[in-house]
Amino acid sequence: MHLLPVLPVIFIAAVFCSPMPVPCTPVSARSQSLRSSSFSVALETLQKHLNYDFQNIGLLRRAMTHSSYSEENNKALSILGESIIETTASLRLLTKDVDISSKDLNNRVSEISKVETSCAVDGMRLGLQNVVRVSSNTNSSTSSVVCGAFRAIFGAVALDTGKSDDAGDVFWVVHGGAGSALSM
Ligand SMILES: *[C@@H]1O[C@H](CO)[C@@H](O)[C@H](O)[C@H]1NC(C)=O
């Protein structure tokens, strides 16, 4: 029993005493890998904020890639994500009140998925403007970039689990979790 607290100390000492590896990669390759590792760290943090762990992290990587950055981007995932947001919002509104008028339903669903009022706000709150990869001449803080990345997350979750309902649940927690006026 007494040995246990000592073990981490021995371990740390062993790490510090071992010879440090000499960096031998060229500078450009090293800064490239630094950039991609900070992106990986950002993806890990984002998963925690979403309260969802991807089986295929490549899907979240793609969701966080704007079309200005790469051919492999979040455009199509974003379309799926938008329809998931609309479906889950309609389902929840109707579950709550099956007598809701079509006009009210339409208005509330579009409020929840609208670029300026909701989607970009949710995305900004998650800090997506600091995660999403864009080309050097693209502003990652614009509503359309943040919103596209935000929607793509739910397309990515749906592909990851094979179920759009799961993605709707993740959306609802992210959207409502901040005490939004539209949360139910
Ligand atoms: C990027 O876009 C945001 C939001 O539209 C704006 O506030 C900001 O000034 C822009 N930054 C640059 C460098 O254009």
Q: How far is the CA of 159 from the centre of ligand 1 (A)?
A: 32
pLDDT value at residue 37: 87
pLDDT value at residue 34: 62
Considering only CA atoms, which residue is closest to atom 4 of ligand 1?
Answer: 142
Query: Could you tell which of 130, 137, 140, 142 is best to mutate to test the pocket of ligand 1, judged by most ligand atoms within 8 Å of the CB?
Result: 142
Round the CA-based radius of gyration of the chain to a whole number and report it.
Answer: 21
Q: How far is the CA of 141 from the centre of ligand 1 (A)?
A: 6
The pLDDT tens digits of the residues spanning 92-139 come to 999 999 999 999 999 999 999 888 778 999 999 999 999 999 999 999
pLDDT value at residue 117: 77
Under DSSP, is residue 65 helix (H, G, I), strand (E, B) or coil?
Answer: strand
Q: How far is it, in rounded angstroms, from Cα 107 to Cα 80?
A: 20
Name the band, by pLDDT with cuts 50, 70 and 90, for residue 29.
low
**Between residues 148 and 28, which one has the greater pLDDT?**
148
SS (H, E, C) 116-140: HHHHHHHHHHCCHHHCCECCCCCCC
Under DSSP, is residue 83 helix (H, G, I), strand (E, B) or coil?
Answer: helix
Q: How far is the CA of 138 from the centre of ligand 1 (A)?
A: 10
| Percent of residues, the chain, with pLDDT higher than 70 | 77
Task: Among 2-16, 62-76, 97-111, 156-170, name the one with the lowest average pLDDT.
Answer: 2-16
| Domains located in the chain, CATH noted | 36-176 (1.10.1520.10)
Give the rounded distance of the alpha carbon of 168 from its chain centre: 14
Pocket of ligand 1 (CB under 6 A): 139, 141-142
Atom number in ligand 1 closest to CA 139 = 1
Query: Could you tell which of 141, 144, 146 is best to mutate to test the pocket of ligand 1, judged by most ligand atoms within 8 Å of the CB?
Result: 141
**Between residues 26 and 133, which one has the greater pLDDT?**
133
pLDDT value at residue 15: 40
In 3D space, the residue among 181, 160, 142 whose CA is nearest the CA of residue 80 turns out to be 160
What does the mean pLDDT of the chain come to? Answer: 84
Instruction: Tell me the Ramachandran region of residue 101: left when phi exceeds 0, alpha when psi lies from -120 to 50, beta otherwise.
Output: beta
Q: How far is the CA of 24 from the centre of ligand 1 (A)?
A: 39
Considering only CA atoms, which residue is closest to atom 9 of ligand 1?
Answer: 141
Name the band, by pLDDT with cuts 50, 70 and 90, for residue 33.
low
Predicted TM-score of the model (pTM): 0.79
Instruction: Say if CB 132 and CB 64 are below 8 A apart.
Output: yes
Considering only CA atoms, which residue is closest to atom 8 of ligand 1?
Answer: 141
Instruction: Tell me the Ramachandran region of residue 88: left when phi exceeds 0, alpha when psi lies from -120 to 50, beta otherwise.
Output: alpha
pLDDT value at residue 114: 87
